[in-house]
A and B are shown apart, each in its own frame.
Chain A
């Protein structure tokens, strides 16, 4: 077993719809004349998290921190390098093609940019029906009925069904992508930055639609975003990711009221607030996110940390501790409580 996070967090994650344990995804880096493997990009490096059924877990972090890779690995669009993914009562990290087909009926994904995730040659009707055709054995009539039901559900009209994706605005395209993901009645939806490509007024509509659908279908969301205000609006729990690892996990209310990890604090203070008052006590982080190919030793955040304690931060990897019930934080500040 690796040296990665072996945490008390595992104890708490028995009864989620989805749990991952020490999940890793490395991408090989090739170099030299022979294109031999010279290293790994450790995109996801030991992530353990759990999502309860019917809840929304927000995954937040900066670009390159591995949040999308984690989402795709959970969907098994990437094969995990190590660790386990437990979904809906079964282990799916090693599932083969035919089992994946069954599993994907219950988990679907919505991508960031609907213009590139929808096939431009297919009509809206074909796009929505495609997952039903591939994954279910529903009859033509059943598929048609479901399509009609969905198109209204996501706020489009029947007349839109024969049109091609390019005839729609970004918001409408994202509605088609949502209908497509919903078509097979999944339990879990991984939403990978579903509103980042949209204008704020359209974003508001899509966020409202997602919460409505969650109520109607009792959906569970893994909501990936870099936008903290969106995360705060839609999520029940929040996981903050930094350089392939989780920095902090807590309920939305707690994490926004009292962030514990120095990175979470910096991230929150960096968000510009749309108001006339000016921010006075902003925490400005130094420098950039280090490369995931060669992450810093010890705590990965120590190179930029504003609450750096000393040598321990550079040499020892902080444990994923539980400073108070239901809150998890990987930082040497809270090591004493374990």
Chain B
């Protein structure tokens, strides 16, 4: 697909541990368009970080093992290129911002050293030019007095400033794709608001594509054009940001947004999701959400793994969901053929059983 900068298809990653094999990702598929911000949301352990680490080629193997799937970046399969080629792409064209700025900055190197490093590595810029460019980028990231900062060390900065430095470091090579893995989770809300504002402006300014990972629906809603919801190593729903909030289809997406206390409404009791996330050592054969699902549909939920399918709807077909509520299986016996054609559009089904 030419209109996507990154296409991940059916990605499967296992971790071999002493206790057995963890199927951390089990068929993750998503795509990121040019100039698009894709938000990836899910709870701890759902595989958000493993997904982007696979894209960056940063998974340590062993224990990690990419079993199947393709990661296509501008026509190149990142899983089959050599380390040298990957090194060229990584840091130059794709770069990453991590959660904790304290651990992603090297404490014994100056800010200047760390921000110019990607430039010296990926371009043939001279040291003086690289320094100039780095100062410019630090200033774009809202750091006043960037010239002086270049000679300071990470510990001399506050958390918010450090995260700005990390962002400057990631953007200094003007990448086409930025991966931000919970970039504001370690920060206070007022600082988080500053950083989100900065990221939004920079995204517009540079016109880059962004994968933004968070466990916080609020943060995701601010920045994303499209959202992918992950659960237990799968993408269970992906749609435009508006549709995820206004007409979510997957029961998990709906339960997730209900369980967050809101500043606008008051409830006596928060709706909860019964049970727990299934063990990824031995995931259930059917839908992974079946045992907790408030809209459990019947035995196909336990037996057949729902595939991520586009839902036919008037407005757009970019809404995909992996749920049997939206798959026509009536009249068929197991194994149901769920990989075929468009799923039935059952927008009314989405609201059934809600109260």
Contact = CB atoms under 8 A, between A and B. Distances in A.
Interface stretch (B89-97, B170-178, B262-270, B310-318): B262-270
B160 interface: yes
Contacts of B269: 208, 211
A256 B276 CA distance: 33
A35 interface: no
Contacts of A207: 261, 270
B217 interface: yes
B68 interface: no
A190 to B, nearest CB: 20
A285 interface: yes
B189 interface: yes
A68 to B, nearest CB: 14
A274 B269 CA distance: 18
Contact of B221 (A226, A270, A273, A285): A273
A208 B193 contact: no
A213 interface: no
Contacts of A288: 158-161, 191
Interface in A177-236: 199-201, 203-205, 207-208, 211, 226, 228-230, 232-234
**Residues of A in contact with B, size category:** 35 or more
Interface in B204-220: 215-220
B222 A200 contact: no
A270 B192 CA distance: 8
Contact of B189 (A211, A267, A275, A276): A267
Nearest to B222: A272
Contacts, number: 114
Contact of B263 (A199, A200, A232, A234): A232
A144 B301 CA distance: 42
Interface residues of B, number: 46
B44 A199 contact: yes
Given A204-B271, A211-B269, A271 B160 contact: no
Interface stretch (B50-58, B118-126, B251-259): B251-259
Contact of A229 (B44, B263, B268): B263
Contacts of A230: 261
Which 3 pairs of residues, A with B, have the shortest CB-CB distance?
A: A272-B218, A233-B261, A274-B217
29 contacts: A62-B188, A63-B188, A199-B44, A200-B43, A200-B259, A201-B272, A204-B260, A204-B273, A226-B188, A229-B260, A229-B263, A232-B261, A233-B261, A267-B189, A268-B263, A270-B190, A271-B263, A272-B196, A272-B218, A272-B221, A274-B220, A274-B257, A275-B221, A276-B241, A276-B245, A284-B193, A285-B193, A288-B158, A289-B188
Interface of B: 43-44, 158-161, 188-194, 196-197, 215-222, 241-242, 244-246, 255-257, 259-264, 266-273, 276
